[in-house]
Amino acid sequence: MFNTKASSKDTPPAGTTIIGAGTTINGDIQSNGDIRVDGILVGNLTAGAKIIIGSEGVVEGNLVAQQADILGKITGTISVKDILQLRGKCVLQGDIYAAKLQVEPSATFNGNCNMGANVVE
């Protein structure tokens, strides 16, 4: 009569959490899925998947994720297990720990960079 479905622990996260433009959050955020920040976050951000900081997004805190695309402004340490992309006119003030790094010529980065698959672990 009822269909048997996998528990919510077994299903991958659906969708993306969005912090929209005009929104300010003070505090840490943690998610198993993707997170996009177009507003302002004062606190640490941890995602089990991908973090995207939009061109108007601002984060004052540390980021931890599987992957990250940064187009906005970040002040803090970034730790990414796969690839970190610094795109557009992003501004990053802080250290990077990433397996792979891609930096566009228009991006600004001030800090230390540590790369390699075993660096993040």
Total domains in the fold of the chain = 1
Residue 79: which domain range?
Answer: 16-120
In a domain, 9, yes or no: no
In a domain, 96, yes or no: yes
- The reported pTM is 0.84
DSSP states along 75-99: ES-EEEEEEEEE-TT-EEES-EEEE
In a domain, 40, yes or no: yes
Distance CA 59, CA 75 (A): 6
In a domain, 6, yes or no: no
In a domain, 11, yes or no: no
In a domain, 81, yes or no: yes
Q: What is the pLDDT of residues 1-32, one digit of tens each?
A: 444 444 445 444 557 889 999 999 999 999 99
Q: What is the pLDDT of residues 61-88, one digit of tens each?
A: 999 999 999 999 999 999 999 999 999 9
